[in-house]
Amino acid sequence: MAENVRPRVKAPRQASAGEAVTIKTLISHPMESGQRKDSDGNTIPRSIIHRFTCEFNGEIVVDVAMEPAISTNPYFEFEAVVPEAGDFKFTWYDDDGSVYEDTQSVALA
């Protein structure tokens, strides 16, 4: 069970219609690969975020399958076209079943 998991998002609050905006996301997570062993030689079980999605007004912007080789605190930066005012919804899916969410509204300038 991952502790201290906190999603963070940086997206503009305003954009003009049709503008491509830069979105940055980061989630604090240990991303335990399942390949490491503890001091007694036992395998430390895998515990990662395995999927990340971003939706805009219900439409998928990115849908990422994440694998164990991704480092601690996964960070994504991507561009999204904003056709209208609305909400970006970000979702992270943890191996342990937890789902972390964040929303960010964008108004038309």
Q: Residues interacting with another protein, by CB under 8 A?
A: 4, 6, 8, 10, 24, 26, 28, 71-73, 75
Q: Which residue's CB is nearer to another protein, number 6 or number 36? A: 6
Q: Taking the complex as a whole, how short is the minimal distance between the CB of residue 91 and another protein, in angstroms?
A: 19
Cα 84 to Cα 11, 56, 61, 64, 81, distances in angstroms: 15, 10, 14, 24, 9
- Among 34, 26, 28, which Cα is nearest to 3's? 28
Q: Helix (H, G, I), strand (E, B), or coil: what is residue 90? A: strand
How near is the Cβ of 83 to another protein at its closest, in Å? Answer: 25
Minimal distance in Å, beta carbon 17 to another protein? 25
Q: Which is nearer to another protein, 23 or 82 (CB)?
A: 23
**Lookup result for tokens 């342990």:** 96
**Cβ nearer to another protein, comparing 35 with 71:** 71
71: Cβ–Cβ under 8 A, 6 or more apart, which residues?
31
